[in-house]
Structure formats: structure tokens, C-alpha cells
Chain A
Amino acid sequence: MLNSPLQDPLADRLHALKQRFVERLKVELVSLEAYGQKLEQQDVELESMRNCVQRLHQLAGSAGTFGFPEVGELARELEKRLKTEVEHWPDNAGAGHPGAEACTGLAVQFRALVARMKTESAEPVPDRDQAATTVIDEASLHGQQVRLLVVSDGLSELDDLVKELSRYGFNVLVLGLSDDRFSETNRAALLDNVATAICWHGMVERVARQVSGHHADAWPYLMPLVCIGETGQFEQRYRVASAGARAFFPEPVDVPELVERVETFVEEKTSRVRGRVMIIDDDRELAEHYSLVLAAAGIEPRVVNDPAQLLEALHGFEPDLVLMDIELGHYSGVTLAGMIRFHARWLSLPIIYLSAEDDLESQLQALSGGADEFLVKPISDDYLIRSVQMRCQRARQLSELMNRDSLTRLLKHSIIKQEVERERLRSMRGDYPSCAVLLDIDHFKQVNDTWGHAQGDVVIRALANLLRNRLRESDAIGRYGGEEFLVVLSNCDAPAAEHLVGRILQNFSELEFAVGEQAFQVTFSAGIALINQFAEGDQAIEAADRALYARKRAGRNGVMIYDQSMAGRSLSPADGF
């Protein structure tokens, strides 16, 4: 997994877009390959060649922008030649197709293009082809990259929904069922980076068949399918459920609710493979082996060979689970586990001993020291992966429950505050800028008073989801107060943070909250402070708060960066905010 704290957010996003384009190349190359084969067999007809010219044209115009100029050039040349053929197409079927020579020539060019695309699209995506692993491209799940697939039969029922979902920051791909991207060969590439499929209830069986044919992985992942229906009668829902759909939304669709559901699917998918495991073993080779095995299964390992480094390493790495040898030279794993438990923060961290000890009584003795379980060496790779995965997932669920706000599933007040301080320390070590951003929904009381508290909750959840969608996995987002959010933007300077938050504000202010026939829109104000300027995390939060208040004074619906001139002013409620 790439962890490069020095990349700026723009580069991150460019990279993510490039990755997405690579996915598109993979899909595209399969159909181009098919066209090439048809030409080779001289099995061509005008309509499909026109279609092919269109595709080549798009590729010629876009590939260079995403950093694949050669693909673009090859596509352009081919487009030109094929276009000439199409323009001179004999108009009665008797003459059939371009001459044999032309076909062969074109087929050769197609092969060159496809080969180039294969090379280019194979390169920048590491981890993908490792056997028996399910490494999910992070970029496809976070930031703006959550991709939804809307399957439509050309009717316009879902058009508004597509627009609405795009406003929430999703990347929505709309395809007809007969699109070639659903063909046997293309399907895996298509479905690989789609988080959820959405369709009209009438086509549920057909869509389910298309999206469920994806069992190549060792642990098959079934794409969640959501159906939209007219009424929500029992029969309709029953049919949808029996086709394997995960959710049903009657019209008019409660979009915030749907977004919420999609978010849980995304988390589900992510949590299948993620997990951070710290391995403490003085046998370097064995530790290295465990580390490789876990990494191959999508778990992020960190090896600590020297027990004296343990606590520091824990703070830096924040594992979901610790695997520890019970005898570490002249140190005892049991005592180390006890030391870990000195810290309230690590009370719930699962610790698993690795040991050759198979005497149950001694095991029990060791467990009383504060660990959770024994794995007896030698451990098979498969057993190690499965037991670690299971426990990571469970540990995540538990910490979710403890650390997250129930309405928004964002970090709770105390946790996000700690996160600011942690980021301050991290960014000092790594010598990069990071920002704390405090956001407050404008006139929230008015929303509650006018539309009711339930609508107020919808607004809060909508902002939470939008933030989750637009920020990176490495950023931390918390619910700081009722309608206040605190965000930690790692490796991001103040102007970049201002840009980013400004864009999120723009999206947020475009969201329409519907209540019966009426609808309303909401804005927020935000203050930004560069964490690195301060000696303590709390001071950075206070500075962000001052910038927020300054923004509110200057008129809401905007973003402001903290500067020294705001330092002395009072923040008392007497200001009327």
C-alpha cells in the first residue's frame, strides 16, 4: 500500500483520475481487440465500424490528458484510416467491406494499439494480480472515487437520481444492460471498481445476473444491488429480495437515506481487506514471513523486533491488532502485554500470542496477563490470515461502536480532538503541513425550527456523507458538536484546504433537501488553521474556531483561514454566534 505523505492533494487526485482512466482503458481495449479480430476475419459491417471510429476518437482526445500520449496517437492514426474506410463504404451489401488488404493493414494497427493499452494499463496498478488476494484499490473507494453503477434500460426514471447522486460526490456510471461492458470478458474490469449497482425494480433479475457473476476471488465479493420501485408493495419487494438485492427504495427516493446505505456498503467492502497488524517477534525471519503472508492478503503489517521500541511503534502505527511472540529474548510477552494495557488507549487492542507453548494451563496463565488469545506455532499461512482477518474486523466493529457518533458514524468529539494532536506530532515528524478545519452549518437552528429535528438530522448526515466522500482515507473527520464538524486534513497546506473546503461547500449548498412538495438548501461556514503553527493540538482547534467565527461575522457561507490578527478577540457567546 502506498503511503507517501509528501504527495500533495492535487497530485493525489490526478493520480486517482489516472487510475480510473486505466480502468477505462482496460474495458476499452477488450472491445477494440474484438473489432481488430473482426477486421482480421473480414467480418465487418458499417454500423459497428462507425461505432468503433467514435470510440477511437474519444480515446484519441482523452488518453494524452491522462498521461498516455502514445495510446492517443495510435488511436488517432487508426481513427483516421478507419474513418476513410467508413466514408468510402460501398453502399450496397454486395461489396461488403473494405478490401482484404485494407482489413489486414487495419488489424495490424489494432494489434499495436491494443498491445500498447495492455502495457500501459498493466503498469500503474500494483497489487492487483497477486494470487488469491482481494486488494481493493483505495482510490476507487475513497475521496471522490466511489463509483456507482446505474443500470438503465433507456427510460428516464432514474435520471434525476443520477444527478442527485453526482451532487453527493459519487461518480455515477450509467449503462444499458446490453452495453458491451457487461460482456463476459469485460465484466470483471467493470465491476471491480463499482461500489454499488442501482436499477429499476422491473429489471432486477437481469441486473442481478450481470453484477453477480464475479466470483474470481478466493473470498467472493457480491456487489450490493439496490432497487428503486414505484410503490413498495409487498410482491414487488419480495421479488426484489429474492433476486438478491440488498435494498429497496420506493419513489420518490429518499436520497440521503440511499447515500447512507451506499456508504455502509463501501465500508463493508473496505473492511473486508483492511487491517493493520503489528508483529513483535525477535525471530526476524519468521516475523518477515508473517509480514509477507499478511501483506499478500491485504493486511498492512509492521514488524517490531526490539521490544523496547514497542510503545513508540504502537503510537506511530496504530494497529488493529498485535501479534506477539511470548518469549522475546530476555523479555516476556506477557509482561509486555501488561505494559501495553497501562495505557487507556490500548485497553481494547487485541493482543494475540504466538507461541510454541501447547500446554493449556500455561496458556491460560499467560492470557491472564492481558492478551486475548494464543496461536500455537507452527501456524499455517492460511490459518494466520483467516484468524487475523476475523479479529481485525471484529476489533474495527468494536472501536467503531466506541469511537463513532451514532448519527453520522464520524469520530466522536474526544477522539477527533486527540486526532488533531496526533496529526500535529505526525506532521512535525514528517515535516509536512496539515490543517484543522472547523465547519458549522449556517442557521441550523432555523432548519430545526422550520423543518423539524428529523430534517435537521438529515442535513447533518448529508454533510457527514459528503465529507466522507470528498476527503481522503488519511484525513480524519469528527462530529465536534451538534452541527459542528472538525476535520483534520493531513499533508495539506492552508490554501489547498481552503480550496478543498470551498468546493465541498459549493456541493453542499447545491444539495436540495425535500420536505413534501417543498425543498430547502443549506450552507456552512468554516475556519481553517495550519496545525503546524501551534505547540498543542487544542490551540490549533481554537484557532480554527476563531477563523470560523471571523467568517461568520463577515457573512456566513464561506471559508476563512486563521491569521494572527484573530488571536486576541473574544469568542464569547455575547458576539451572538
Chain B
Amino acid sequence: MSNDARMPEKVLYVEDDPDIRSIAELALRDVGGFTACLCESGAEALAVIDDFQPDLVLLDVMMPGMDGPQTLKALQSRPQGLPVPVVFMTARLQPAEIEEYLALGAIGVIPKPFDPMTLADEIRRLAAAGAS
């Protein structure tokens, strides 16, 4: 149990594409057993994060308005900061970009397209690696 205590249970996912949100909801809740909150924009994430209190935040990189990295910065610059791990999701996976995201404080990057059946495992794997 002591290991599991660090495992995320509540995941906040910010993604502008509604179809991806629907399938991610299925992948996170039904397949993964997470409690999930899905936001369509960085602004919405900022508005709901205090109420939802996630254990982990998933951010799509490319979004209109505030993109993923900007959303991360906005979340971090709140008075209470962002005390939980962050994972980016991106369709363009270049080594330089991964470096950049890790430098921003993300614990990992999940490439898109993701497989709805294994997305949750991948998140747990990153969270376990990030926690150790």
C-alpha cells in the first residue's frame, strides 16, 4: 500500500479537441479507473483546479489561446504553485522539445496518438518513475 499512496487517483486533462476529450475520458475513467476532470482550455483548468485537486495534470501541448507550456506556467505561478506532477501530450515528438518540457518541470511526455487502452498505464508508469 505504501507505494500506492503516491500513485495518482485524480487526473486533470486539458485538451482542446472534443473528440479526444471523449475518448480520453473513457481511457482515464473506464479503462484506467482514475477520477478524471477534462478541461477544454488552460483557462478552464485554472478555474477548476482548486476545486478538483488533481494528483496529476496532463496537458496537450498545442492548443489555441494558452498552449500547454503557457498553461503550465500559469498553473505554477499561482500563489500555491503546482504541487503535483505534470505530463505533456504531444503529436510532435522531437528530442529538443522533450528536453524543453522536462525543463519546465514536467515528469514526462506522452506521444499522440495515444492508445486508449494503455494511456492510464503509461501515466502510472511515468508517475512511478517520477516519484522514485
Residue numbers of A with Cβ under 8 A of B are: 10, 13-14, 17, 20-21, 24, 57-58, 60-66, 69, 72, 76, 144, 171, 173, 499, 503
Inter-chain pairs besides A76-B91, A503-B29, 6 sampled, C-beta below 8 Å:
A10-B30, A17-B22, A60-B91, A60-B113, A61-B112, A171-B18
> Are A65 and B18 touching (Cβ within 8 A)?
no
**Is B23 positioned at the interface, with any CB of A under 8 Å from its CB?**
yes
B113 contacts A63, C-beta separation under 8 Å: yes
Q: Are A17 and B26 in contact (CB under 8 A)?
A: yes
User: How far, in whole Å, are A184 and B8 apart by their CA atoms in the complex?
Assistant: 48
Known: A17-B26, A64-B113, A499-B29. A57 touches B92 (CB 8 A): yes
Known pairs A61-B113, A62-B113, A65-B113; A10 contacts B31 (CB<8 A): yes
Chain B nearest CB from A82 CB (Å) reads 13
Complex Cα spacing A14 to B115, Å: 12
Establish whether residues B113 and A72, one from each chain, have CB atoms under 8 Å apart when the complex forms: yes
Known: A61-B91, A76-B91, A499-B30. A69 touches B19 (CB 8 A): no
Interface residues of B (CB under 8 A from A): 17-20, 22-23, 26, 29-31, 62, 90-92, 112-116
**Across-interface contacts of B114 in A (CB, < 8 A):** 64-65
The answer to whether B29 and A65 have CB atoms under 8 Å apart is: no
Q: From known contacts A10-B26, A13-B26, infer whether A58 and B18 are also in contact, taking CB-CB under 8 Å.
A: no
Q: Is A21 a contact partner of B91 (Cβ separation < 8 A)?
A: no
Residues of the B chain whose Cβ atoms lie less than 8 Å from the Cβ of A171: 18, 22
A20 to B26, CA, bound (A): 14
Contact A57 B26 (CB under 8 A): no
Of the candidates A17, A173, A503, the one whose C-beta lies within 8 Å of that of B23 is A17
Among the listed A64, A173, A503, which residue makes an inter-chain contact with B18, where contact means beta carbons less than 8 Å apart?
A173
* CB nearest to A173 among chain B residues: B18
- Residues of A near B17 (CB, < 8 A) are 58, 62
- Docked complex Cα distance between A247 and B29 (Å): 36
Pairwise interchain contact B115-A65, C-beta atoms closer than 8 A = yes
Chain B residues with Cβ below 8 Å from A173 are 18
CB < 8 Å A-B pair total: 61
Which chain A residue shows the least CB distance to B25?
A503
A61 to B20, CA, bound (A): 9
Q: Name the 6 nearest CB pairs between A and B, nearest first.
A: A64-B113, A61-B91, A61-B112, A65-B113, A60-B91, A17-B23
- The answer for the CA separation of A171 and B22 in the assembled complex, in Å, is 9
Distance from B115 Cβ to chain A, minimum over Cβ atoms (Å): 7
Give complex CA distance A417, B20 in Å: 39
**CB pair B30 A65 closer than 8 Å:** no
Of all chain B residues, which has the CB nearest A72?
B113
8 contacts between A and B (CB under 8 A): A10-B30, A13-B26, A60-B112, A61-B112, A62-B91, A65-B114, A65-B115, A76-B91
Question: What's the least CB distance linking B37 to chain A, in Å?
Answer: 10
Residues of chain A lying within 8 A (CB to CB) of residue B23: 14, 17, 65-66
Partner of A65, one of B20, B31, B62, B92: B20
B31 surroundings in chain A (CB, below 8 A): 10
> Shortest distance in angstroms between B16's beta carbon and chain A's nearest beta carbon?
9
A21 touches B113 (CB 8 A): no
Q: How far is the CB of A164 from chain B (nearest CB, A)?
A: 14
Chain A residues, CB < 8 A from B91: 57-58, 60-62, 76
Residue in B26, B31, B91 whose Cβ sees the most chain A Cβ within 10 Å: B91
> A307 CA to B125 CA in the complex, in Å?
61
Please give the distance in Å from A477's CB to the nearest CB on chain B.
21
Given contacts A17-B19, A20-B19, A57-B91, contact A62 B112 (CB under 8 A): yes
A14 to B24, CA, bound (A): 11
* A521–chain B nearest beta-carbon distance, Å: 13
Q: Is the CB–CB distance between B116 and A14 below 8 Å? A: yes
* Chain B residues positioned under 8 Å from A66 (CB to CB): 19, 23, 113
Nearest residue (CB) in A for B111 is A61
Once bound together, how far apart are the Cα atoms of A508 and B17, in whole Å? 24
Q: How far is the CA of A520 from the CA of B19 in the complex (A)?
A: 31
Shortest CB–CB separation between residue B67 and chain A, in angstroms?
A: 12
Q: Which of B20, B62, B113, B115 has the most CB of A within 10 A?
A: B113
- Residues of chain B contacted by A57 (CB below 8 angstroms): 62, 91-92
Which of B29, B62, B112, B114 has the largest count of A CB atoms less than 10 A from its CB?
A: B112
Contacts of A499 in B (CB 8 A): 29-30
Most buried by A among B29, B90, B92, B114: B92
CB distance from A131 to the nearest CB of B (A): 30
Contact check: which of B20, B30, B90, B92 meets A62 at CB < 8 Å? B20
CA of A286 to CA of B64, assembled, Å: 60
| Residues in B whose Cβ lies below 8 Å from that of A62 | 17, 19-20, 91, 112-113
A69 to B116, CA, bound (A): 13
Expressed in whole angstroms, the Cα–Cα distance for A571 and B29 within the complex equals: 34
List chain A residues, Cβ under 8 A from B115: 64-65
CB nearest to A24 among chain B residues? B19
Closest CB-CB distance, B65 to chain A, in whole Å?
Answer: 14
Tell me, in angstroms, the Cα distance from A565 to B130 when the chains sit together. 42
> From B61, which residue of chain A is reached at the shortest CB distance?
A61
Expressed in whole angstroms, the minimum distance between the Cβ of A496 and any Cβ of chain B is 8
Q: How far is the CB of A176 from chain B (nearest CB, A)?
A: 14
* Inter-subunit contact B19/A21 (CB<8 Å): yes
CA distance A58 to B89 in the complex (A): 12
Task: Report how far A62 CA is from B115 CA in the complex, Å.
Answer: 10
Complexed CA–CA distance, A62 and B16 (Å): 12
Question: Quick one: closest A residue to B22, CB to CB?
Answer: A17
